[in-house]
Amino acid sequence: MPDQNPVIQRTAPVERRVDAIQQALDERGMNATDAVEELTELAEEHWIPQNGARVVARAWVDPEFRRRLLANGRAAVAELGLSMPKHHRHLVVLENTPAVQNVICCTQCSCTAFTIIGLPPDWYKDLEYRARVVRESRTVLKEMGLDLAPDVEIRVWDTTADTRYMVLPEQPPETIGWSEEKLAGIVTRDSMIGVARL
Amino acid sequence: MDGMHDLGGRQGFGAVRYRPDARAFHEAWEVRVNSLYAFAVRRGIFNMDEYRHAIERMEPRHYLTASYYERSLTSLATLLVEKGILTREELERRAQGLFPLAAPSAPGRSNVPARERFQPGDRVRVRDDYVPGHVRMPGYIRGKTGVVVSESPAYPFPDAHAHALAAQDEPTYDVRFRSEDLWPQSADAALVHVGVFQSYLERAT
């Protein structure tokens, strides 16, 4: 009988693969575990859609801020204490109107203005959304619950460079006169991606 | 490269699995992977273009069946091995099993020498380029004509930046295409805006 190879030739479970990297980096003195703790807190507590919601609410109540936001998104969000990674050199804010619906995607990976509108949800990164939204925009939006009138123009923005996008949804008419804080509470992540209206 | 990752316009996929309360992470290891790759970028071990390209170099069957964060993990491990920080043997010994990595890289390229500056309103055509390395031109715009809407600040040229080649930063243009031009008689009517690097563009005649 030939010798049996004692090595189990199977792919290691994904968690053990993550552990392997983290431990190997730690043993080289790179303090990966400390960095993971810090970056995890950023991902879970700081890179959240409530940031973008504050931006939208401010734009609704302050026409001068809205103008600055549309002219230079990166500088305008900094006024609210919000920052973007160095390599995101430009934030383009896309204004919805009754006649225009903007929707963002990344067909090649999952790029988003994640420090502003939050890390992207699972479906944004799935193959289905990436493959279909550029080509079957109206159909996909309808399947996702946004049934646009035929005369609404759809503009799809594929995030292929390091310029980042966010959608500025329309303010619902019944919320005119609300406080900025209350307005921020109705702005959803998906309205800033552009797959939902408010 | 015309890789499996270049999904825009591919057909045969079903409905988006959409929930309004969908989360970014589902399991603790996913957050850890996200943090580990961000840590490596922050330490300057690799840049975002190298990171994206190592995902694109995954064997297509692995790419399609891996979850999003498994792709992220595979890219991280591949680059740590390629940069000489870890070895695959060490990773497999620690993980007690196989640790599939992405395939080796093909050569990158530097900026196209004859680049033109465009103005909003200019009609531009996406060059008919086929490159073996990293490229941020989605295949669905290759050879297509659109209109320049605006110019973004200059960025590192990804075709070089993903391969540690010297290159000049160059502007990207927001180019507006009509879905009917991209997929004649086979798309929902829409305007499709793509951020296109200057090297990928020529003036449309």
Interface probe with B: pick from A5, A7, A9, A17, most Cβ of B within 10 Å: A17
pLDDT over threshold 50, residue A1: no
Rounded Cα gap, residues A92 and A88, in angstroms: 11
B172 contacts in chain A (CB < 8 Å): 160-161, 163
> Are B190 and A155 inside 8 Å of each other by CB?
yes
User: d(Cα A156, Cα B193) in Å, to the nearest integer?
Assistant: 6
In a domain, A6, yes or no: no
Per-position DSSP letters for A89-152, written without gaps between them:
-EEEEEE-BTTEEEEEE-SSS----HHHH-SPPHHHHSHHHHHHTTTSHHHHHHHTT----TTS
A8: in domain: no
Segments forming the whole domain that contains residue A22? 14-45
Is residue A151 one of the residues assigned to a domain?
yes
> Is A64 in the B-facing interface, judged by CB distances under 8 Å?
no
Chains A–B, number of C-beta pairs less than 8 Å apart: 245
A22-28 LR contacts (CB < 8 Å, sep 24+): A22/B32, A22/B36, A23/B94, A24/B86, A24/B90, A24/B91, A24/B94, A25/B36, A25/B80, A25/B85, A25/B86, A28/B85
Three-state DSSP at B78 gives helix
- The total of structural domains in chain A comes to 2
Residue whose structure tokens are 């715009």: B141
* The dihedral sign for the CA sequence B106, B107, B110, B112: negative
Q: Is A111 a catalytic residue?
A: yes
Q: Which of A31, A48, A125, A135 to probe the B interface (max B CBs under 10 A)? A: A135
What is the residue type of B16? V
Query: Are A82 and A169 within one domain?
Result: yes
Q: Is the pLDDT of residue A168 over 60?
A: yes
Confidence of residue A4 (pLDDT cuts 50, 70, 90): low
ipTM of the complex model: 0.97
Question: Which residue, chain included where needed, has tokens 């009917």?
Answer: B180
Residue A2 has pLDDT above 90, yes or no: no
Which residue bears the tokens 């086979």?
Answer: B186
* From B17, B31, B68, residue closest to A110, measured CB to CB: B68
Indicate which residue of A110, A137, A179, A191 is catalytic. Answer: A110
| Interatomic CA distance for residues B124 and B176, integer angstroms | 10
pLDDT tops 70 at residue A18 = yes
HSE-up (13 A, CA, CB side) for residue A75: 8
* A92 part of a folded domain: yes
**A54 shares its domain with A39:** no
Residues A142 and A127 grouped into a single domain = yes
Set of chain A residues whose Cβ sits within 8 Å of the Cβ of B20: 145, 188, 190, 196
What are the structure tokens assigned to B151, written together? 């110019």
Q: Are residues A113 and A186 in the same domain?
A: yes
b (16+ CB within 10 A) / e for B132-164:
ebbbbbbbbbbebebbbebbbeebbbbbbbbbe
Band of pLDDT at residue A31, cut at 50, 70 and 90: very high
Q: What is the mean pLDDT of residues A67-90?
A: 95
A97 in a structural domain = yes
Nearest chain A CA: its distance from B80 CA (Å): 9
Q: Does A135 contact B186 at a Cβ distance shorter than 8 Å?
A: yes
Asked if the C-beta of A149 comes within 8 angstroms of chain B's C-beta atoms, the answer is: no
Tens digits of pLDDT across chain B (205 residues): 999 999 999 999 999 999 999 999 999 999 999 999 999 999 999 999 999 999 999 999 999 999 999 999 999 999 999 999 999 999 999 999 999 999 999 999 999 999 999 999 999 999 999 999 999 999 999 999 999 999 998 999 999 999 999 999 999 999 999 999 999 999 999 999 999 999 999 999 8
A119 to chain B: which residues are within 8 Å by CB? 24-25, 34
Residues A127 and A168 occupy one common structural domain: yes
**Is residue A3's pLDDT more than 60?**
no
Catalytic residue at A109? yes
- Both A18 and A73 in one domain: the answer is no
Q: Does A11 lie at the interface with B, CB-CB under 8 angstroms? A: yes
Residues A33 and A59 grouped into a single domain: no
What's the pLDDT at A5? 55
Which one of the listed residues A105, A106, A137, A191 is annotated catalytic?
A106
Q: Best mutation site among B1, B16, B94, B182 for testing chain A: the one with the most A CBs within 10 Å? A: B16
Same domain, A29 and A109: no
* Chain B interface includes A151 (CB < 8 A): no
Rounded CA gap, B111 and B127, in Å? Answer: 13
Residue A32 lies in a domain: yes
Q: Is A72 on the interface with B (CB under 8 A)?
A: no
Domain shared by A117 and A40, yes or no: no
Do both A40 and A118 map to the same domain? no
pLDDT at A104 over 90: yes
- What is this structure's pTM? 0.95
CATH of residue A61: 3.90.330.10
Q: Does B98 touch chain A (CB under 8 A)?
A: yes
| E strand residue ranges, B17-133 | 123-126
Rounded Cα–Cα distance for residues A80 and A86 (Å): 17
CA distance A47 to B34: 13
Contact partners, residue B22, CB within 8 Å, separation at least 6: A121, A122, A123
Question: Is A82 part of a structural domain of the chain?
Answer: yes
Cα(A129)–Cα(A134) distance, rounded to whole angstroms?
A: 9
Domain architecture of chain B: domains with CATH: 1-99 (1.10.472.20), 123-203 (2.30.30.50)
pLDDT of residue A86: 86
Establish if B16 touches chain A: CB-CB under 8 angstroms.
Answer: yes
Residue A7 lies in a domain: no
Least confident of A11-15, A83-87, B135-139: A83-87
Report how far residue A130's alpha carbon sits from residue A114's, in angstroms, rounded to the nearest whole number: 17
